[in-house]
Structure 1
Amino acid sequence: MASSRDRQRRLAREKLDRQLARRAAAARRRRRIQAGVGAAAVLILVIAGAAWGIGAFDRDPDEKKAAEDVCLWTPQDAAGNTNLKDVGTPATTGLPTAGTRTMTVTTNQGAPITAQLDLATAPCAGASMAHLASKAFYDNTTCHEITAEGALRCGDPSGTGIGGPAYTFYDEDVPDPAPSASAAPDSSPAYPKGTVAMIGNPPGQNGSQFLIFFKDFNPEKPAYSIIGKVTGGLDTVEKIGALPTVDNGSGDKVKPKTDVVIQSLTVSDPDAAATTPTAPASGAPSASPSAG
C-alpha cells in the first residue's frame, strides 16, 4: 500500500499538471486570437470583442485560482538530513509565468556567468532560484562536480550532492528524447551547450542544485528539467569544465581538483517584456535549449 507521503506527492504532481495544462490552454487561445487579428484586420472590432469574451472566460474562478496558485513546495525533513538548510519557502501565489529573469553567477574562475531563466516554461524554478538567491543561499559555496555528461554541477552548500533547501518542487520542462544523429543528423540535442537545468536527488525532486552544460548532451532518456540558457560567460563554464578532477570520496572522479567557488549568485526581478530570447552575448550558445 502506498504511504501517505507517496499519496501526497502523487496528488501534488497531479495538481501541478492541471495547472500547467491550464496555462498551456490559455496560451493556445491567445495565439488563436492573435492569428485571427492578423488574418482579418477588417473585423478587428469584432475579433477584439471576441478576445474580450475569451479573456472573461479565462477569468473564471478555477482559472483565476490556477493563475494565483502557481507552485507547490514539498517540505523536507531538515532534522533527518543535516545537509539541508532551512531558509523558508518561496511564495505560492502571484508568481510570474511569462518573461525571464537574469541569473548572474560570479565565481573565482573568471568572468561572471549570466543565464536567462525562462519563466514561461519553468516558473517554479525561477521563483525558487530567486528566493534562494535573496537569502544568499548560494554565496561562498562550491560547484562540487564536473559530470560525465559534460556539465558543471552547483548549488549544494554541503558539497555532498544531497544538500539543498528544506523543500523540493517537481520537474517542469524535461525535454522529449531527441532523435539519434543517424536518424536526424540536423536535430538539436536534448541539452545543447549552455543549457541550465535542475538536478534533483532523487530525480524529479528539485531543490537548489543545478547543471550548466559546457558541451552538448543527448541522452536516450532526458531526466533534467531545463530552466534556461547561458547568455554570457560560456567561456568561463568551458574553462571550468576542462579542470582536472579527483575522487569525490565516493569513488567517482568528478570533484574539481581546484575549488570552484560561487562568490555570489543573484537573480533579477522578472522582465515581462523579454518574451523572446535576446541575441547571444559573446561566448553564449548559438541556439536555445530544446524543450520537450
Structure 2
Amino acid sequence: MASSRDRQRKLARAKLDRQMARRAARVRRRRQIQAGVGVAVVLALIVVGSAWALGAFDSEPAEDTAAEDVCLWTPQNASANTNLKDVGTPPTTGLPTDGTRTMTVTTNQGGPITASLDLAAAPCAGASIAHLASRSFYDNTKCHEITAEGALRCGDPSGTGLGGPTYSFYDENVPDAPDPSPSPSPTGKRPPAYPKGTVAMIANPPGANGSQFLLFFKDYDPPQPTYPVIGTVTGGLDVLEKIGTLPTVDNGSGAKVKPQTDVVIQSLTVGEPTTGAPAPTPSGSGTPSGAPSASPNAG
C-alpha cells in the first residue's frame, strides 16, 4: 500500500498536469486569435491596396454648378447723363448663344420691318434688345437720323443720340477691315462690310453699346468698319427703303440728318429664340445684296 506521501505526490502531479494543460490551451487560443487578426489585417490591406490601385481614393474635382456669365452689363451714370432711362438690366447667365430671334419694328411709315437677330454672332445684343423690348423701351420713340452712310438710326428715346438704358455692353461681330489686296472674285467686286438690309449697333462713345441700332437701306463699305453687325432685315425692306428717301433737316448740331417727317416706332417686339433655320428671304421691293447670314455659324 502506498504511503500517504506517495498519494500526495500523485495528487500534486495531477494538479500540475491540469494547470499545464489549461495554460497550453490558453496559449493555443491566443495564437489562434492572433492568427485570425493577422489574416484579417492582411485581407484588409489587400482590399485597400486594390481599391487604391483602381483609383477609389482619387479625389474628384468638385463640380462647378455656378452658371457661366454670357454677357457683362456695365452700369452707366444716369445722374451724369439725364438722357438715360433705367429699365433694369438683362440677366448675365442662361442666355441663348445660338439660333436667331425675330425682331419686329412697326412704324408709322407702313408695314412692319422684321429682322433676324443672330444670337451666335451677337448674343448680348440679342439679349439686350429683347430685354428692352419686354420693357416697352422702344415703343413710341422716334428714329432720329437718316445717316449719310445709308441707314435709319433708331433706339434712343431722347432723340439726341446720347440716350439709352443705364447699362452698356461691348462690341460683338464688327466686320474686318477690307483686305488691301483681295483675291479676285467671280464678280470682280468683294461684298461690302454692311450690305443693304444689315442690322447693326451704334454707340456713343463707340464700344459702349446700349439700345441704338442701324437699319441699312443701302450698301455701306467703310475703310474701317466700327458698327457691330447683329442681324439681317428679313421683311419690310421696301418700307425701309422708302424711309431712306425722306427729306432731312438740321438736327440742331449742323448735321442735316433728322427726318423732316417723324419716323415713329409704334412698337418693337422680339420673339423667342429659334435654332437651325436660316433667315428667310426679305419681302418687299428689294433683297439685301450679300446680307450677313443669321445662321449659328455666322460672324
Give the TM interval when normalised to the shorter protein.
0.7 to 0.9
- Tell me if the contact between 2:196 and 2:291 (Cα under 8 Å) persists in the aligned partners: no
Q: What's the counterpart of residue 149 of structure 2?
A: 149
> Residues 146 and 241 of structure 1 are in contact (CA less than 8 Å); yes or no, is this contact kept in structure 2?
yes
**Paired residues for 1:1-16 under 5 Å:** none
- Are residues 286 and 87 of structure 1, via their aligned partners in 2, closer, same or farther at CA, if it must alter by over 3 Å? same
Seen in structure 2, the aligned counterparts of structure 1 residues 180 and 151 have a Cα distance that, compared at 3 Å, is farther
Residue 57 of structure 2 is matched in structure 1 by: none
- 2:87 corresponds in structure 1 to 87
Alpha-carbon shift at residue 179 of structure 1 (Å): 4.2
CA distance in 1 between counterparts of 2:139 and 2:165 reads 14
Residue type matched to 1:273 in 2? G
Q: Report the aligned-residue RMSD.
A: 2.1
Query: In the alignment, which of 246, 270, 273 is matched to residue 273 of structure 2?
Result: 270
Which structure carries more helix by proportion?
Answer: 1
Alignment pair present for 1:220 and 2:223: yes
For the pair 1:123 / 2:102, whether they are aligned, the reply is no
How far is the alpha carbon of 1:68 from its aligned partner?
2.9
Question: Normalised by the size of structure 1, how large is the TM-score?
Answer: 0.74
Identical aligned residues as a percent = 73
Q: For the Cα contact (< 8 Å) 2:201–2:209, is it kept in 1?
A: yes
Q: Distance in 2 between matches of 1:149 and 1:180?
A: 21
Higher Cα radius of gyration? 2
Q: Distance in 2 between matches of 1:250 and 1:61?
A: 56
> TM-score, normalised on structure 2?
0.73
Could you tell me how far apart the structure 1 residues matched to 2:181 and 2:166 are?
A: 40
Q: CA deviation at 1:80?
A: 1.1
Residues paired across the two proteins, number: 230
In 1, Cα distance between equivalents of 2:145 and 2:90: 27
Structure-2 change in CA distance of 1:180 and 1:289 (3 Å)? farther
SS at match of 1:289: coil
Displaced runs of 4 or more, over 4 A: 179-184
Unpaired segments ≥5 residues, structure 1? 1-59
Query: SS at 1:230's partner residue?
Result: strand
**Which digits, 9 at most, give the CA deviation of each residue in 1:35-78, with x for residues without a partner?**
xxxxxxxxxxxxxxxxxxxxxxxxx968x86x731000000001
Do 2:217 and 2:241's aligned partners in 1 also have CA atoms closer than 8 Å?
Answer: yes
Following superposition, the deviation at residue 177 of structure 1 comes to 1.5
Aligned to 2:255: 252
| Unaligned segments of structure 2, at least 5 residues | 1-61
Q: Contact conserved, 2:281 with 2:287, CA < 8 A, in 1?
A: no
Q: In 2, are the aligned partners of 1:199 and 1:210 still within 8 Å (CA)? A: yes
* Alpha-carbon distance in structure 1 between the residues aligned to 2:206 and 2:196: 21
Secondary structure at 1:111 match in 2: strand
- 1-side partners of 2:63 and 2:108: how far apart? 50
